[in-house]
Amino acid sequence: MKFLRSLLAKYMLIVVTAIFLTQIVFVIYALIMFGADSIISPEDSLNPNVIEEKWNDEASKIQNVSEETIQKHFKKWMQQYPAASMFWVDGNGNLRTQFDVKEELPLKWTATSTAHFIKERYGGDPFTVIAFVGKDKSQGFIVFEIPRNQLKPPDGQKYGSVLLSLTIGMILLFILASFLFFKGIRKRLLNLQKAMEVRDVNGLPIQVDVKKNDEIGQLEQTFNQMVFELRESKQREQEEEQLRRELIANLSHDLRTPLTKIRAQTYFIAKEELSQEGNQAIKSMEDSIDHIDRLIENLMSYTLLMASKYKFEPKEIDVVRFVKESIASWYSLFEKEGFEIDVELHPFEKNKWMIDPLWMGRILDNLFQNVLRHAKSGRYIGVKTESTKEYDAFVISDRGKGMKNGSNEKGAGIGLSIVDMMVKGMELDWDMKSSEQGTIIKIKRYKVGRSEKTF
């Protein structure tokens, strides 16, 4: 049963049907050909084979041969064949009777003239039939002639044309059936391809309607099963993502509560008279608390960005002035740590950038924080502007040991991930070069569209 529903079985049925119908056509043709002589219709009376057979048969049945009987015979045939001509030559070779003969015939027929006549008429026009009169060949012969344009084609030619037409018809029918068969297959495959390309709101393919249980139907069922499993996987992923965000939010809240208490207790302890080592320990604790707080903030921001929940409100601002104010807020911290601060901020051709000031501030804070915590060994930070034909950029550089070598402070990876998502979210670009001599980061705005990063 499974095989009978397959495409192979259906196409084999088309082929077998075509062969069976072709055989029927040949059988019918054979029956017509072999049975045509036994059935003579009025139309068959114009068949050369029928005329010849009938003329010879009736000539042999003539009795009491005389001009009167021959003329009576000719008149009978003239009624059926008005365009024909006939004549009688008796046993002595004399031309006795003629009807509608258009040419001059010899009055005395010899063996030579008879042979010449037969040779001249053989296969020519008019169609000529010669038959002996009566049972005794000594009574002479009668001749029947009719223009070939009055006759119908021979049976073989007529039915051969019919056979050819039927054969061509069968071939065309087979081609049409095959075309419709494969057209249906192609349509179903194209529908399946379209379903693979179209996506729903979740970015997943859509299911297709399964109408048949053949090979393509089984493929459609498998495709639908794959889509179903993808939807289940997507749903589980969304549920897990929601749980992860809730977990991070709850964890951040739960961590910040004790951190606030620890910060308060550290503040009160710092008021007490402590030794130098005690004061150093209190300062180290405060730095650790600040570091943990920043890590929690980065983790929350990263989660919101990944879920596209971080609020984005772009505005047109003077970006050079914005960067100056940002580095000014960090100036005292860098100075306190003994950094050499090198700031060269020159106006761009177009200072107005369409950006979110909160996002831009967060980007700069993360980069400055990384320099402060991971490039202390170099004691240098540079903030400059750079303009080329392709882009305007802010360049932040340090002289630390580079990103690959790392530092005693950890947690910079998530901060740079936030930088990457926020920069791209504002349709800007950035690149970073890091070596043992320091790190250089450029935040770019292309003048004519965006192009690929260059490192």
Higher pLDDT, 348 or 288: 348
- The 3 state secondary structure assigned to the chain is CCCCCCHHHHHHHHHHHHHHHHHHHHHHHHHHHHHHHHCCCCHHHHCHHHHHHHHHHHHHCCCCCCHHHHHHHHHHHHHHCCCCEEEEECCCCEEEEEECCCCCCCCECCHHHHHHHHHHHCCCCCEEEEEECCCCHHHCEEEEEECHHHCCCCHHHHHHHHHHHHHHHHHHHHHHHHHHHHHHHHHHHHHHHHHHHCECCCCCECCCCCCCCCHHHHHHHHHHHHHHHHHHHHHHHHHHHHHHHHHHHHHHHHHHHHHHHHHHHHHHHHHCCCCHHHHHHHHHHHHHHHHHHHHHHHHHHHHHHHCCCCCCCCEEEEHHHHHHHHHHHHHHHHHHCCCEEEEECCCCCCCEEEECHHHHHHHHHHHHHHHHHHCCCCCEEEEEEEECCCEEEEEEEECCCCCCCCCCCCCHHHHHHHHHHHHHHCCCEEEEEEECCEEEEEEEEECCCCCCCCC
Whether pTM > 0.75 for this model: the answer is: no
Question: Is the confidence at residue 80, as pLDDT, over 70?
Answer: yes
Higher pLDDT, 261 or 315: 315
pLDDT tens column, 179-222: 888 888 888 888 888 888 888 877 788 888 888 887 888 888 88
* Among the ranges given (149-158, 244-253, 361-370), the one the predictor scored with the smallest mean pLDDT: 149-158
Q: Identify the pLDDT of residue 237.
A: 84
Question: Is the confidence at residue 385, as pLDDT, over 90?
Answer: yes
- Average the pLDDT over 110-125 and give the result: 86
Question: Is the confidence at residue 452, as pLDDT, over 50?
Answer: no
- Average the pLDDT over 235-249 and give the result: 78
Q: Identify the pLDDT of residue 250.
A: 72
Query: To the nearest whole percent, how much of the chain has pLDDT over 70?
Result: 87
- Average the pLDDT over 271-294 and give the result: 81
- Mean pLDDT of the residues in the chain: 82
* Of residues 345, 375, 363, 379, the one with CA closest to residue 439: 375
CA within 13 Å, CB half, 124 = 7
Contact present, 432 and 366 (Cβ < 8 Å): no
Of the chain, the end-to-end C-alpha distance in Å amounts to 64
Q: Identify the pLDDT of residue 158.
A: 56
Question: Is the confidence at residue 386, as pLDDT, over 90?
Answer: yes
Q: Identify the pLDDT of residue 112.
A: 87
Question: Is the confidence at residue 15, as pLDDT, over 50?
Answer: yes
Question: Is the confidence at residue 247, as pLDDT, over 80?
Answer: no
- Average the pLDDT over 282-305 and give the result: 76
Question: Is the confidence at residue 345, as pLDDT, over 90?
Answer: yes
* Of residues 259, 323, 266, the one with CA closest to residue 293: 259
* Among the ranges given (139-148, 199-208, 225-234), the one the predictor scored with the smallest mean pLDDT: 199-208
pLDDT tens column, 252-277: 667 767 777 787 888 778 778 888 88
Cα separation, 48 vs 84, whole angstroms: 13
Q: How confident is the model at residue 455 (pLDDT cuts 50, 70, 90)?
A: very low
- Average the pLDDT over 388-405 and give the result: 88
Query: To the nearest whole percent, how much of the chain has pLDDT over 90?
Result: 20
Question: Is the confidence at residue 439, as pLDDT, over 80?
Answer: yes
Higher pLDDT, 82 or 11: 82
Cα separation, 86 vs 128, whole angstroms: 10
Q: Identify the pLDDT of residue 324.
A: 93
- Average the pLDDT over 326-348 and give the result: 91
Q: How confident is the model at residue 405 (pLDDT cuts 50, 70, 90)?
A: low
AA letter at 338: G
Cα separation, 318 vs 348, whole angstroms: 10
Q: Identify the pLDDT of residue 156.
A: 52
- Average the pLDDT over 353-379 and give the result: 89
